[in-house]
Amino acid sequence: MRRVIPGLIAAVLALTSGLARADTLRMECPPSKEGRQFCSFIKQQFEAQTGHTLAFISLPPASNEKLSLFQQLFAAKDSGAIDLFQADTVWIGVLDKHLLDLTDSVADIRNDFFPTSLQNDIVNGRVKAIPAYMDAGALFYRKDLLEKYGEKPPVTWTDLTRIATRVQQGEREAGHKNFWGLVFQGKAYEGLTCNALEWVESQKGGSFIDAQGNITINNSRAAQALDMAAAWVGKIVPPGSLGYMEEESRSVFQNGDALFMRNWPYAYMLAEDRSSAIRGKVGVMPLPKSEDGTSVSTMGGWHWAISAYTKNPKAAIALLKIVSSAESQKKALALTGWAPSRTALYDDPEVLAQAPYLADFKEVFIHAKPRPATQTKRQYAQVSKAIYNATYNVLRGDSDGATAVAELQQRLERIKARGWR
């Protein structure tokens, strides 16, 4: 990594050399054909409306490399590298001091976005980004199999466990020996943190760390949630799921070998592809909850942010508003498939005619909850690692829920020490 990043910085600076005029702004542009078409659309609007010039740069596709590049550019307070860029959901707290304060500038549009998504972008009461597009965990299910067994989509985790057990048994007795009731992302990585948050918070076990930064994981409801998930493994969930990430889960489900799947919205479009074995048979819904809880989906997605070191903050804010407008979000959906972050677009006939599946995701996005990244700031990576390792140990049977949450509480207290920073 130490050899790669300097080269990336040099490439960025080389791309922007000769464009140092204050009226030239630099925006991140996806490298795909569709991404370039979207950027061209934004360029035409921005230059026509403001009289400024818009230039584009490409950034590393790998999220960790991209974050490392930003951290080095911002540490140098480089005002010529980039003005507007996309930040991952969990970066806002990490990059907080390097992001332009948007609080007053976006007061007129902040209520246009999904509330929980915008809340992710608020650090210490200040708006530091605007949601670019939505992503959240959802429950996918086989509509044909639920109909075959006379079942309805599950509302609670108890429903899911019962239905998955019944259908799995029935399908295996019918000759489908490798059929499972449920698949999810069980590998010890960030995806398991997302699953764990959904299990715990949907059963009133809290969010590991609350909005004020208090560590809350050591409680009986959180312990029960982890024990519930562990009880699935080997019964309705394949043991191999402890090595699954998103694509491994999708492969099992899309091959027709599972009834339920927890995954992100991208899986829906692939499941409906012409080559899919389950095309036309897939439903999607918010994740289940406990009998007295509420459905919770972990929020993913990316957010538009402006470098605090921009030479022209007024023009950068104008660009931000153009790129996040309803018209631009419709164009991004058409070209790149980005799910809009503006709530009203999910009731827009033009949007629903273009992407009817989005009607199923509106409720999922409403229930989306951010990971405890904004409040834990630069320590989030340590926090997430502690969460997914503790959860993995319970799933693997090396610990029980009560022991795991007590030890995780202590581990997070040590990471926090004198405060999140």
Domains of the chain: 4-135+300-369 (3.40.190.10), 138-298+376-416 (3.40.190.10)
* Cα gap 335→329, rounded to integer Å: 10
Alpha carbons within 13 angstroms on the beta-carbon side of residue 49 total: 17
pLDDT of residue 2: 44
Contact 145, 399 (CB under 8 A): no
CA 131 to chain centre: 11
Q: Which two tokens stand for residue 313?
A: 């903050």
Inter-residue contact 342 to 326 (CB < 8 Å): yes
Q: 302-306 and 84-88 as β-strands: parallel, antiparallel, unpaired?
A: antiparallel
* H or E element, residue 54: strand 53-57
Please give the Cα distance from 82 to 74 (Å, whole number): 10
The H or E element containing residue 259 is strand 258-263
**Cα–Cα distance measured from residue 333 to residue 296, given in angstroms and rounded to the nearest whole number:** 25
Quickly list H helices, 214-256. Answer: 220-232, 246-254
Find out whether 396 and 196 touch, Cβ atoms under 8 Å.
no
Closest CA to 277 of 144, 139, 171: 144
Both tokens of 162, joined, read: 């019962």
Sign of the CA dihedral with 376 first, then 382, 385, and 386 last:
negative
Backbone angles phi, psi at 152, to 5 degrees: -105, 160
Residue 114 corresponds to which tokens in the numbers above? 């999904």
Q: Consecutive sets of 10 residues in the chain, 421 residues long: mean pLDDT of each?
A: 48 43 84 93 97 94 89 94 96 96 97 95 96 96 98 98 98 98 97 98 97 96 98 98 96 98 93 93 96 96 97 97 98 93 96 92 92 94 97 98 98 97 91
Q: What is the pLDDT of residue 19?
A: 39
CB distance 374 to 123 below 8 Å: yes
Tell me the helices (H) and strands (E) count for the chain, helix number first: 16, 13
Residue 156: strand, helix, or coil: strand
pLDDT at 367: 85
Interatomic CA distance for residues 347 and 351, integer angstroms: 8
What is the distance between the alpha carbons of residues 134 and 287, in angstroms, rounded to a whole number? 16
- Among 116, 114, 124, which residue's Cα sits nearest to residue 324? 114
The separation between CA 403 and the C-alpha centre of its own chain, rounded to angstroms, equals 29
Cα(109)–Cα(186) distance, rounded to whole angstroms? Answer: 38
pLDDT given for residue 3 in this prediction:
46
Show the CA angle centred on residue 281, arms to residues 279 and 286, nearest 5°.
115
Q: What is the pLDDT of residue 269?
A: 86
Per-residue model confidence (pLDDT) at position 128: 98
pLDDT at 63: 85
- Closest to 255 (Cα-Cα) out of 270, 269, 265, 244: 270
What pLDDT, on a 0 to 100 scale, did the predictor assign at position 13?
46
| Radius of gyration in angstroms for the set of CA atoms belonging to the chain, rounded to a whole number | 22
Cα(205)–Cα(228) distance, integer angstroms: 13
The reported pLDDT for the residue numbered 8 is 52
Can you tell me the distance from the alpha carbon of 340 to that of 351, in angstroms, rounded to the nearest whole number? 9
DSSP string, 176-201: -TT-EEEE---SSSHHHHHHHHHHHH
